């Protein structure tokens, strides 16, 4: 396969949508953090967006077949680094998720294992000679995805670990999951749930589930975030209270309004119609991803794009659901809008993989 590609085939429409959402996120980060101890976060986010744009174009240039064939070269070091984080990582809010990189700051390594898993599953299932997934296939996927998930859960970071599951689910479904195997997996998950509750989940994670069912059980502590988020969303009304005028956000009732709860801050300031516009932008991004998967030159490319689509859709649904009270509070940022260098870099690199596939649609 020739490596000569033309950036005329780059998905500039997708990039335009992505940049529009990112710019809205920048303005909301500024609005939510000015005159607070996080003032200036929008400048840092702007730097990260610039670096992420460069990373996206770099990822789009290297043939995704080359990346897939070398997935193990990325996987093993990532596993070692995740183990390093467990032992020596920076501890913030009781979790060891970050390593400190000189000149860059804190870096969340677990975000990038998702890219490696997308490449690994695309390589494995695109080379399969069968139309259905065997038990051996499921066992292989379970090991490849399960090891990093376990290491991430031990940090503990249940939210990031969960973002791996839609990548696996979509890949297995597209590869031809038998209903018998699906039923067995569902039964195993049902039986494992009590064990996970008693032996895996931390007390604060159990409290999040309990307060999700009824936030009024502990409105001043465990249920505080969810209650304040719903108040912020509701107070936005149709048109919102205006930029930097949201009472929940500006008076610091809404916790971390520039990270996981940025959608609540945006809803308070821009109302129903502002939220509708942002959700429409996300919908258009997802539809562009579907189109790129449909026009992929081979099965491997289709698996790559669908893996990116799966993780982005999952993060959007969970974050928005969390903000409006339909999902438990978990540490899953809203793609492209939430503050965070690791998150924005991962998202742009994932979109670089999508364009990597797109640029090779007509290459023989």
Task: State the Rg of the chain over Cα.
Answer: 21
Q: What share of the chain is helix, strand, coil (3-state, %, to 5)?
A: 70, 5, 25
pLDDT of res. 93:
65
**What stretches of 221-362 adopt beta strand conformation (E)?**
none
Give the single-character DSSP code of 317: H
Which among 92, 86, 211 has a CA at the least distance from the CA of 151?
A: 86
How far, in Å, CA of 258 to CA of 264, rounded?
9
Q: Over range 147-159, report the average pLDDT.
A: 91
Q: Over range 174-197, report the average pLDDT.
A: 82
* C-alpha pair distances (Å), 313 with each of 41, 175, 321: 26, 20, 12
Q: Over range 67-93, report the average pLDDT.
A: 89
The pLDDT-based confidence of 103 (bands split at 50, 70, 90) is: low
The residues pairing with 90 across neighbouring beta strands, listed in sequence order, are 98
Dihedral angle computed from the Cα positions of residues 76, 82, 87 and 92, in that order, rounded to the nearest 10 degrees:
170
Higher confidence at residue 142 or residue 102?
Answer: 142
Which among 243, 246, 218 has a CA at the least distance from the CA of 231?
A: 246
pLDDT of res. 2:
43
pLDDT of res. 104:
66
Higher confidence at residue 15 or residue 192?
Answer: 15
The pLDDT-based confidence of 1 (bands split at 50, 70, 90) is: very low
**Burial of residue 214 (number of CB atoms within 10 Å: 0-12, 13-18, 19+):** exposed
pLDDT of res. 261:
93
**Lowest-confidence range among 81-90, 98-107, 165-174?**
98-107
Maximal C-alpha separation, the chain: 62
Q: Are 124 and 304 in contact (CB under 8 A)?
A: no
Residue 307 predicted with pLDDT over 60: yes
The pLDDT-based confidence of 18 (bands split at 50, 70, 90) is: very high
Q: Which pair of structure tokens corresponds to residue 25?
A: 């996120």
**Lowest-confidence range among 208-222, 268-282, 313-327?**
208-222
pLDDT of res. 322:
92
């Amino acid at each position: 396969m020739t490596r000569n590609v033309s950036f005329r085939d780059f998905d500039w429409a997708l990039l335009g949508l992505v940049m529009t959402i990112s710019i809205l996120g920048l303005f909301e980060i500024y609005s939510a953090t000015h005159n607070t101890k996080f003032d200036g976060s929008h400048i840092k986010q702007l730097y990260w967006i610039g670096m992420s744009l460069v990373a996206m174009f770099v990822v789009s240039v290297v043939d995704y077949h080359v990346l897939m064939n070398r997935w193990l070269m990325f996987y093993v070091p990532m596993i070692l680094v995740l183990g390093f984080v467990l032992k020596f990582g920076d501890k913030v809010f009781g979790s060891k998720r970050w390593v400190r990189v000189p000149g860059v700051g804190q870096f969340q390594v677990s975000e990038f294992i998702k890219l490696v898993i997308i490449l690994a599953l695309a390589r494995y299932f695109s080379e399969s000679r069968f139309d259905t997934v065997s038990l051996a296939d499921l066992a292989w996927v379970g090991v490849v995805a399960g090891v990093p998930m376990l290491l991430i859960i031990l940090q503990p970071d249940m939210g990031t670990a969960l973002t791996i599951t839609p990548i696996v689910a979509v890949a297995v479904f597209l590869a031809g999951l038998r209903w018998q195997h699906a039923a067995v997996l569902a039964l195993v998950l049902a039986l494992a749930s009590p064990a996970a509750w008693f032996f895996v989940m931390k007390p604060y994670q159990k409290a999040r589930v309990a307060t999700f069912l009824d936030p009024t059980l502990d409105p001043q502590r465990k249920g505080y975030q969810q209650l304040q988020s719903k108040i912020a969303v509701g107070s936005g009304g149709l048109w919102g209270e205006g930029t930097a005028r949201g009472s929940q956000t500006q008076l610091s009732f809404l916790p971390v309004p520039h990270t996981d709860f940025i959608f609540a801050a945006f809803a308070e300031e821009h109302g129903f119609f502002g939220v509708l516009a942002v959700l429409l932008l996300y919908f258009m991004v997802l539809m562009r991803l579907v189109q790129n998967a449909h026009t992929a030159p081979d099965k491997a490319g289709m698996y790559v794009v669908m893996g990116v689509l799966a993780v982005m859709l999952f993060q959007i649904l969970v974050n928005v659901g969390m903000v409006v009270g339909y999902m438990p509070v978990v540490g899953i940022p809203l793609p492209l809008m939430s503050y965070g260098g690791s998150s924005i870099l991962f998202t742009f690199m994932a979109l670089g993989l999508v364009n990597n596939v797109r640029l090779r649609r007509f290459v023989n």
